[in-house]
Amino acid sequence: MPIDKNKDHFKTKKTVALKYDQNTDQAPKIIASGRGSIAEQIIKKARKENIPIKEDKDVVQVLAELNIGDEVPEELYTIIAEILSFFYDLEDLQS
C-alpha cells in the first residue's frame, strides 16, 4: 500500500457507515463511505436521522479501504461487536 506523505491527507475527515441486521446479514456491511465534504454529509444525514455515531479513527482507517457493500473483515468483528453492543444498550436506555 502506498504511503501518502501529504499531511493534509491525514487531516481529512473520513467516515464509514455500517449496517447490520442479525436476521439477514452474516456480518456488518459498509453502506456509505467518504472523505472531506462527503464525510460531513454522511455525518449530517446520520444526525438528522438520529443514527448513533461512534468516532474511532483507527477502525475507520481500515474500513475506508473497503468498498460499499463489503462485509467487515473478521479481524474487526470484536471491536465492531463492542460498538454495536454500546449502541443497542444506548437504545434500550432511551426507550
pLDDT higher than threshold 50 for residue 95 = yes
Alpha-carbon radius of gyration of the chain: 14
88 or 23, greater pLDDT:
23
User: Which parts of the chain are beta strand (E)?
Assistant: 14-19, 29-35
Domains of the chain, start order: 12-91 (3.40.1690.10)
Residue 66 identity: L
Mean pLDDT, residues 4-33: 81
pTM for this entry: 0.77
Summarize pLDDT for 24-78 with one digit per residue, the tens: 999 999 999 999 999 999 999 999 998 889 888 999 999 999 999 999 999 999 9
Three-state DSSP class for 29?
Answer: strand
